[in-house]
Structures are given as C-alpha cells and as structure tokens.
C-alpha cells in the first residue's frame, strides 16, 4: 500500500495514495501505522482525500491505530469523501473520531492537544 507521510512539527500526517483501504491493503496499513506509533508518533492526522472506499477490514485497521495511541495522543481524520463518510456514519465512528474538512483544520485542532 502506498502511503505518503510527513511531519509538521510533532504531528505526523499520513495520506494513503490508494483508492481503497480494504482486506487487500488493511494489514499493511495497520503495520505501517503501528510502526509510526511505536516510533513515538502520538499525534496523527489521517488524510483520506484519495480514498473512495473503506471496508470493515480497513475500518478495523484505522480503529486499531486509534486504540494503540489511546490516551497518550490523538488520531484525527480529515478530507473524507462522502462515500467514506457514509461508512463512518453507518458505524457511528463519526462519533468516535474527530473528523475535519481540511488538513489545516486537523493540524490546528491537534496543536492544542497533548
């Protein structure tokens, strides 16, 4: 799975470059997220601007990263297409994750959080 990542101060921005996060890519996505979290990244913005579809495996991989960070940081999501947002609403994950319209909004929100 192709993932673009960069740091803005102490915030890691992760942007999947694939159209889908599904059973065929979820394991690799989860492994990369775990590596970044294990190496000390505690504030993560997940930019889903390229993603058109997420299945239950993909959602599980995102939730896994969220749980791994736990109360030691934060994982927020930004730039979610309607096709993906409908999944977040259906599963009520839109109540669990902080979801922002833009990457800048997500960065601003994290700048005030530990």
Per-residue pLDDT band at 108 (split at 50, 70, 90)? very high
- pLDDT per residue over 76-89, tens digit each? 999 999 999 999 99
Name every residue whose Cβ is closer than 8 Å to that of residue 97 and which is 6 or more positions away in sequence: 62, 66, 75, 76, 77, 88
User: CA dihedral defined by 22, 32, 49, 90, rounded to 10 degrees?
Assistant: 50
Give me the percent of the chain exceeding a pLDDT of 90: 93
At residue 19, the 3 state secondary structure works out as coil
Output the pLDDT for position 71. Answer: 86
């Amino acid at each position: 799975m192709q993932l673009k990542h960069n740091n803005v101060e102490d915030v890691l921005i992760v942007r999947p470059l694939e159209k889908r996060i599904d059973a065929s890519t979820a394991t690799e996505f989860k492994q990369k997220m775990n590596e970044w979290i294990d190496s000390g990244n505690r504030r993560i913005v997940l930019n889903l601007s390229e993603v058109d579809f997420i299945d239950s495996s993909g959602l599980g991989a995102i939730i896994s990263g969220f749980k791994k960070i736990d109360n030691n940081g934060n994982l927020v999501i930004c730039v979610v297409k309607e096709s993906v947002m409908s999944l977040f609403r259906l599963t009520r994950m839109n109540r669990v994750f902080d979801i922002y319209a833009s990457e800048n909004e997500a960065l601003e929100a994290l700048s005030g959080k530990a």
